[in-house]
Amino acid sequence: MLKRTRLLRKKSSASVKKFVRNFMKSVIVDTNVFVSALIGSKVCKQIYELLKLDNFELVVSNDLLTEISTVLTRVKLELSKDEVEETIWHIRQKGRKVIPAEKILLSRDPKDNIVLECTTVVKVDFIVTGDKDLLSLKKFRNIP
């Protein structure tokens, strides 16, 4: 999670919901958050459940959708086909699809740049991630 959302790990379920409703209007959610939601992280699962209930706008690009789909179907995660298909369906249905306006080459991992590129089209309130490279940026274009 980024700086502010890192605090969610220590909060109650009601506090997480309140934070999301009050501060997370438009959000980019990194692939690792969806993976964590499906393999057991309580906070990530709450974020995913709140997405399904339309508590915030999810911003995604085709590249990010492809990465999420590819990662979730990896055998080592041992996720059922139904879990993967349902998650991808929710992301496609709930997500606001954007076409990045520019390429960003800021992160050591090119897959992280996919997340950052979504910010070139629409203003988002947060980037939600557990990725150390993205977290090391602290803020990107004034997005915590």
Q: How confident is the model over 57-91, as pLDDT tens digits?
A: 999 999 999 999 999 998 788 899 999 999 999 99
Residue 131 Cα distances to 6, 7, 80, 81, 100, angstroms = 12, 15, 24, 25, 21
DSSP code, position 18? H
Q: How confident is the model over 81-117, as pLDDT tens digits?
A: 999 999 999 999 999 999 999 998 877 888 899 999 9
Over 90: is that where the pLDDT of 52 sits? yes
The predicted model scores a pTM of 0.83
Class of domain 24-135: alpha beta
Q: Where are the domains of the chain?
A: 24-135
